[in-house]
Amino acid sequence: MAVLVYGPPGSGAEQVAAELSELGAPAVAWDGRSAYREPGPGLKGAGSSHLVRTVASLEACLARWPEGGGASAESWMAACERQRHLITATRVVLDTTHRDRRAVSRALAGLPGAWLDQGSEPVVVAESFSFIRGVPLDLDCCLDARPISNPYWVEELRPFAGTDPRVSDFVLRQEAARRLLDVAEQMVESQLRPDGRSRPLIRLAVGCTGGRHRSVALAEELSRRLTQRGARAVVWHRDLEV
Residues 100 and 171 occupy one common structural domain: no
- Give the lowest-confidence range in 9-23, 82-96, 107-121, 209-223: 107-121
Domain count, the chain: 2
Residues 170 and 231 occupy one common structural domain: yes
- Among 56, 85, 109, residue at a domain's last position: 109
The verdict on residue 223 lying in a domain is yes
Contact residues for 142 (Cβ-Cβ < 8 A; gap 6+): 135, 136, 204, 205, 206, 207
For 180-205, the pLDDT digits (tens) are 999 999 999 888 877 767 788 999 99
The verdict on residue 242 lying in a domain is no
The verdict on residue 114 lying in a domain is no
The verdict on residue 117 lying in a domain is no
Give, for 68, the enclosing helix (H) or strand (E).
none
Contact residues for 227 (Cβ-Cβ < 8 A; gap 6+): 233
Assess contact for 54 and 101: CB atoms under 8 A: no
- Percent of the chain exceeding pLDDT 70 equals 92
Residues 145 and 102 occupy one common structural domain: no
pLDDT bucket at 67, cuts 50 / 70 / 90: confident
Average pLDDT over residues 129-147: 94
Residues 15 and 41 occupy one common structural domain: yes
Domain region containing 29: 3-109
Residues 218 and 141 occupy one common structural domain: yes
Residues 78 and 102 occupy one common structural domain: yes
Report the predicted TM-score, pTM, of the whole model to 2 decimal places: 0.86
The verdict on residue 85 lying in a domain is yes
The verdict on residue 118 lying in a domain is no
